[in-house]
Structure 1
């Protein structure tokens, strides 16, 4: 794996501290109306495990899986991850599949559209997003851009064999984090994401 050429070549203690503070954010986790599980090829198993744990802990009653990219099996992400949820005990009747989205913005936009079509959008006042820890802030900022009024929480998934605190020690993890770090400002400028509102996104300092 190689990082993008425009990313910092050296991880200084100052840069690591800033990334930990700004990018790898944590939020309060409390009972929510919906788990929004972002689809993935590379970290699907870790993400599914987090969503299943939220279900088992009684923190969510519905899981919406969003992802339209095809996996190696030929299925779209949403369907494959939905099957994994069912296999681990989440009732099929409590899973919603959104199988069109091909990026994070579409994950949110198409999920909102689907909830409206199903007539349950107005019942969703709070969401726990589940996705890779390296993109923690970007998920929340994307929700802020396209679904600002909802209470936003995050349960991140870590597919790597090291803790989140040790991300600089794992080359693949570090590369993924730096890649995400390099996206935030360009995405803000383009309008793909929006800075977080502390009233609807309870960040833990």
Structure 2
């Protein structure tokens, strides 16, 4: 059975990666909110909150399925996120669905194409990427690389680390995802998929200790 208790001996390193992978942007008005698919329905919840607060007039939910989400969202991540937002009062006409993306690069590229198909692209000067908390920095770097002409703001449902782990229901999964996303900050620029970003020494050291502790399920081959 999955546990939601963060082991005390890991807390400092997990908190270091948790803080690093968030961009700490303040929400501000933008032209479109882009809800990135994944296992976290909080993305749709926060997108609805921001829509109601007037942060953006249009939402794109983007995402197909990964092996880890097909049971949770059998009709596709973006479809389920749209349904959640509508349940929370967002008008259906304010939502576009991109149902094919299977990675963050696709999320950006396919959203760009979808906005063009619907005649919005010329008016999009700024976007807000709404994601899992630890996906912010990676999605920011990918968007800046693939769609450099727009201003990018990042955001996630504002939850403290322990509350987020409880919301997901599996601390092991959260730590593995944190470690994997951190590695991607330097791997993706090497592959030409994202802009380069500074990785402080304490982040690399925390990452290395968590890898040594066995949190390797989301690592890429370097």
Scaled by the length of structure 1, what TM-score is found? 0.78
RMSD (Å) for aligned C-alpha atoms: 2.8
Deviations 1:131-151 (A, max 9, x none): 001111001011101111111
Corresponding pairs, count: 182
Distance 1:55 1:129 in 2: 13
Task: Return the offset for 1:46.
Answer: 1.0
- Residue matched to 2:187: 186
| Within-5 A mapping of 1:99-178 | 99-157=99-157, 162=162, 171-178=172-179
1:27 equivalenced with 2:28 (yes/no): no
Distance 1:119 1:91 in 2: 19
For the residue of structure 2 that corresponds to 1:162, the secondary structure is helix
- Residue matched to 1:97: 97
For the residue of structure 2 that corresponds to 1:108, the secondary structure is helix
Scaled by the length of structure 2, what TM-score is found? 0.72
Distance 2:118 2:98 in 1: 12
Measured at CA, do residues 78 and 172 of structure 1 come closer, stay the same or move farther in structure 2, by a change above 3 Å?
closer
Given that 2:31 and 2:56 are in contact with CA atoms closer than 8 Å, whether structure 1 keeps it comes out as yes
Given that 1:46 and 1:158 are in contact with CA atoms closer than 8 Å, whether structure 2 keeps it comes out as no
Measured at CA, do residues 16 and 67 of structure 1 come closer, stay the same or move farther in structure 2, by a change above 3 Å?
closer
- Unaligned stretches of 5+ in structure 1? 2-9, 165-169, 197-205
Measured at CA, do residues 183 and 35 of structure 1 come closer, stay the same or move farther in structure 2, by a change above 3 Å?
same
- Unaligned stretches of 5+ in structure 2? 2-8, 165-170, 198-222
The structure with the largest strand share of the pair is 1
Deviations 1:157-176 (A, max 9, x none): 36787157xxxxx5543332
For the residue of structure 2 that corresponds to 1:26, the secondary structure is coil
- Which shifted more, 125-134 or 18-27? 18-27
Task: Return the offset for 1:78.
Answer: 1.3
Given that 1:65 and 1:95 are in contact with CA atoms closer than 8 Å, whether structure 2 keeps it comes out as yes
1:79 equivalenced with 2:76 (yes/no): no
